[in-house]
Structure 1
Amino acid sequence: MRIISGTYKRRKIVAPRNLPVRPTTDMAKESLFNILNNLYYFEDISVLDLFAGTGNISYEFASRGTENITCVDQNFGCIKFINKTADEFEMPIQTIKSDVFKFLEKATVTSDVVFADPPYDFSNEQFSTIVELVFKNQLLNEEGVLIIEHSKHTDLSDLNHFSYSKSYGGCVFSFFELTES
């Protein structure tokens, strides 16, 4: 995997093979950040990266100037790798080793972007729970967005707060926003 833009543009990051991850492809990541680049000034936002895995998405935010990034993953190897990489590149990334659902139930942190990349084989109920907890616990700042990465075989358009989705190969990003009542 590589960092696409910003301070660390073109830097390759090689994750250990034994991590239980499926990193977002460079093509999909570049497309996602083209969308986000039109919505936010990266240096002015905060990011919560759920199911962070290798930290791929967080490194991209950090490279583009985001200084408030929190990664959550339950795998100790993933957290250790993110901490090591963040230290090497002097990136402002905080990590929390936790089951994402337990974290979301108790979280009080608010962010402009909440990015979730759960396993592609999650059930619609599990995807729905992520959305419900983020909005019920008010984890998004005003004008914030929840983005869930999922397989093209999963349709999240019927979930509350769904706004739109973008498809890139086998990967889909579904966007959820606070709607006016």
Structure 2
Amino acid sequence: MRIISGKYKGRRITAPKKLPVRPTTDLSKESLFNILNHHFNFSELTILDLFSGTGNISYEFASRGSEEITSVDTDFGCVNFIKQTAKEFDMNINPVKSDVYKFLEKAKTSYDVIFADPPYDFSQEQFEKIAELVFQNDLLNEEGMLIIEHSPQTKLEHLPYFSSSRKYGSSIFSFFEFTEEEDTNEEE
């Protein structure tokens, strides 16, 4: 994998082959960050990277200037790899070894961008539970965005706060945001 843009643009990161991961492709990642570029100033963002695997998405945010990044994965090897890579590149990434659902249930911090890339073989309910826990526990800032990467077999457009989706190859990014209409209703 390589870092697409920012301070470490073009740097290649090679993860150990034994890690149980399916990294987001460079093409998908580049497309995702083109979308995010139009919404955010990266240096001001707090990031939560769920099912972070190799840390691919976390490194991209760090390279673009985000300084508050939490990467959560259940695999000890993945968490160690992120910790070592972040240290090597002097990136402010906080890797956490935890079950993502337990982390979301206990988290007390809210984030500007939450990115989740669970295994594609997760059930529909497991995907839905990610969005449910994020919004139920107020983990997304008012102007924030939740992005869930999934296969075409998973359908998330029926969930509350769904705003759009984009397909890149065999990956779909579903975006969730608070809308102005929902914000207005909450204030009444």
Check whether TM > 0.5: yes
CA distance in 1, matches of 2:81, 2:109: 23
After TM superposition, give the deviation of residue 2 of structure 1 in Å. 0.2
After TM superposition, give the deviation of residue 159 of structure 1 in Å. 1.4
After TM superposition, give the deviation of residue 140 of structure 1 in Å. 0.7
Structure 2 equivalent of residue 92 of structure 1? 92
After TM superposition, give the deviation of residue 160 of structure 1 in Å. 1.6
Give 5+ residue unaligned stretches, structure 2: none
Does residue 64 in structure 1 map to residue 64 in structure 2?
yes
Q: Where does 1:92-171 land on structure 2 (aligned, <5 Å)?
A: 92-171=92-171
Aligned identity (percent) is 66
Superimposed CA distance per residue, residues 112-167 of structure 1 (whole angstroms, 9 cap, x where no aligned partner): 00000000011111111111100010001111010000012222111121110000
Q: Which moved more, 1:153-162 or 1:17-26?
A: 153-162
Structure 2 equivalent of residue 43 of structure 1? 43
Amino acid at match of 1:12: R
SS at match of 2:96: strand
After TM superposition, give the deviation of residue 71 of structure 1 in Å. 0.3
Amino acid at match of 2:94: Q
For the pair shown, which has the larger CA radius of gyration, 1 or 2? 2
Q: What is the root-mean-square deviation in Å for CA atoms of aligned residues?
A: 0.7
TM-score by length of 2: 0.95
After TM superposition, give the deviation of residue 22 of structure 1 in Å. 0.2
CA distance in 1, matches of 2:142, 2:23: 29
CA distance in 1, matches of 2:75, 2:17: 14
Amino acid at match of 1:67: E
TM-score by length of 1: 0.98
CA distance in 1, matches of 2:105, 2:64: 30
SS at match of 2:166: strand
Superimposed CA distance per residue, residues 95-126 of structure 1 (whole angstroms, 9 cap, x where no aligned partner): 11000001101111111000000000111111
CA distance in 2, matches of 1:37, 1:28: 14
Does residue 10 in structure 1 map to residue 10 in structure 2?
yes
CA distance in 2, matches of 1:25, 1:153: 18
SS at match of 2:31: helix
SS at match of 2:95: strand
CA distance in 2, matches of 1:39, 1:20: 32
CA distance in 2, matches of 1:2, 1:59: 9
